[in-house]
Amino acid sequence: MSAGTETQRAESSGRDLLRHSLATLAYRGGKAIRGAPAGFSQFLASPGSRTPGEILAHIGDLMEWALSIASGQQKWSDSHPLRWEQECQRFFATMQSLENFLASSHSLHASAESLFQGPIADALSHVGQINMLRRMAGAAVKGENYFKAEIVAGRVGAEQPGPRREF
């Protein structure tokens, strides 16, 4: 096998894992934001902490940053949080844009590993923060055996399957 073929297989494998990671983020994030109570966006756990609305806006910024890195035009911006419903739509839209790029034949301008360890892993951590804030706000999200969840690369929209095993 030639070195070029080996590199292409490694990039394809990395893209596949990134796409599955995005689908995981959409599934877990969708569960965290779906059905949030009125006013949750502004819930403040302590002075100086981020609100759920600020965290969700940051996740959108992370996905836009990931796309800019992947396309070779790295750019960061801090967005002002939108209304919760709009920010939820942005959450899925920014992931869809990144998914479209990863599913294309466009070259990645960064390693899959770097894209995962930076923006995607950060976004997963922030979804955990939203879940914790939901519990603190009295609107806990049910736990789930995510190993059994129906998560499929490419499915990054708001329409996610129901849980297979919650507890």
pLDDT digits (tens, 9 = 90+) for 115-135: 999 999 999 999 999 999 999
pTM for the whole thing?
0.92
What was the pLDDT predicted at 10? 57
- In this structure, is residue 98 part of a structural domain? yes
pLDDT confidence tier of residue 11, bands split at 50, 70 and 90 = low
Amino acid at site 6: E
Q: What percent of the chain has pLDDT over 90?
A: 92
Q: Token digits for 70?
A: 């992947």
**Residue-number span of the structural domain to which 62 is assigned:** 9-37+45-148
User: For residue 163, what are the contacts with CB-CB under 8 A and spacing of at least 6?
Assistant: 31, 142, 144, 149
- In this structure, is residue 161 part of a structural domain? no
Label residue 158 exposed, middle or buried (CB < 10 Å: 0-12, 13-18, 19+): middle
- In this structure, is residue 84 part of a structural domain? yes
Domain count, the chain: 1
pLDDT confidence tier of residue 12, bands split at 50, 70 and 90 = confident
d(CA 155, CA 149): 13
- In this structure, is residue 162 part of a structural domain? no
Task: Output the domain CATH number for residue 53.
Answer: 1.20.120.450
- In this structure, is residue 86 part of a structural domain? yes
- In this structure, is residue 155 part of a structural domain? no
